[in-house]
Amino acid sequence: MPGGRQVAAVTDAHFDVGAGECLALIGESGCGKSVLASALLGLLPANARTAGRAHLGDLDLLAADERTLARTVRGRKIGLIPQSPAAHLTPVRTIRSQMEETVAQLTGVRGRATVRAAAEAAAARAAFPVGHLDRYPHELSGGLAQRAATALALVGGAPLLLADEPTTGLDRDLVEHTVDELRRHVGTPAGTGAVSCDDAPRRALLMITHDLTAAERIADKVAVMYAGRLVELTDAAAFFGAPGPRHPYSRGLLRALPDRDFTPIPGMPPELGDLPDGCAFALRCERATDACVRRPRTSDSVACHHPYLPEAIRA
């Protein structure tokens, strides 16, 4: 809240994700993706305010009190796979002790041997080697830390997994393995990726990422954020294939990929505390007109006055 002014970090975010689906929420760093995730879990700072509705089944997450969020939502209804998982693991305790504590808290399992067996089963579900459970977080590679965080997120049987930048800091082979494992936990094959699933229960997955290659591999749907607003919501196959994205910003993101045009978007995003009256992307957009500068356009699919038309993209 610079200078005492209230900053709208996220505005007009609207999407849904069902069991067996993965929605990839993509956009540049600082666009509001992680703020949105924190709002769903009730983890925003005390001076933050939220408005609107966020339904998980019959529960409105934004209206839930702290007691409900702590006892019912976190871990049991939403399993969080945090960004930089090694930093979120307790450094002075072994992975086993953290797994066993989580099992006891979220499942009600009692008895030392039973809890131990349940913790090992949870580790195995996330492909975390049982032989590494007695190690400390600093002894794990980035990939193993990611698997440990995933195992912890799965313990409570949450129907929604929220993965915040799960591929950050991983090399490309580990990125592919990580997203394939996440897809396996969703319980159905991806719409565009080449991974299969086992008999895992069907879950919903909200993956927050700026890695479009990972998103293409795993997602069924794509939501694009820019400067705190959702600018495009579409099917992943259409976004990454034909007819392609319709918002100029989304199109610019794809153009910037090394295996596409490798052409960066000119300019920089505006500060969330100093947003223009019109479309926040207008100053960087090759299609902008006076209408774009005067006011933003809201839409359930593409928030743009001059979106690319499917026919034009195919041509």
Q: 166 and 73, same structural domain? A: yes
Instruction: Give the model's pLDDT for residue 312.
Output: 52
Q: 241 and 298, same structural domain? A: yes
The per-residue pLDDT for range 238-281, each reduced to its tens digit, is 999 999 999 999 999 999 999 898 999 999 999 988 999 999 99
Low-confidence ranges of the chain (pLDDT < 50): 1-2, 192-198, 314-315
Q: Domain for residue 169, yes or no?
A: yes
Between the CA of residue 229 and those of 28, 75, 195, 277, 307, what are the distances in Å? Answer: 12, 28, 31, 13, 16
Q: Domain for residue 85, yes or no?
A: yes
Q: 195 and 105, same structural domain? A: no
CB contact set of 170 (below 8 Å; sequence gap of 6+) = 142, 143, 146, 178
The per-residue pLDDT for range 215-248, each reduced to its tens digit, is 999 999 999 999 999 999 999 999 999 999 999 9
Q: 177 and 294, same structural domain? A: yes
245 and 215 Cβ atoms separated by less than 8 Å: no
Indicate the residue among 134, 157, 180 that finishes a domain.
Answer: 157
Place of tokens 């600093």: 138
Q: Domain for residue 307, yes or no?
A: yes
Instruction: Give the model's pLDDT for residue 309.
Output: 87
Total domains present in the chain: 2
Instruction: Give the model's pLDDT for residue 197.
Output: 47
Between the CA of residue 129 and those of 13, 107, 109, 135, 168, what are the distances in Å? Answer: 38, 22, 22, 11, 21
Q: Domain for residue 1, yes or no?
A: no
The two structure tokens encoding residue 240? 């990454």
Instruction: Give the model's pLDDT for residue 194.
Output: 41
Q: 54 and 191, same structural domain? A: yes
Q: 280 and 213, same structural domain? A: yes
Percent with pLDDT over 90 in the chain:
82
Q: 309 and 196, same structural domain? A: yes
CATH number at residue 239: 3.40.50.300
Indicate the residue among 99, 126, 157 that finishes a domain.
Answer: 157
Q: 200 and 162, same structural domain? A: yes
Indicate the residue among 157, 187, 204 that finishes a domain.
Answer: 157
Between the CA of residue 194 and those of 127, 184, 197, 288, what are the distances in Å? Answer: 19, 11, 10, 37
Q: Domain for residue 73, yes or no?
A: yes
Residue ranges making up the domain that contains 309 = 9-77+158-314
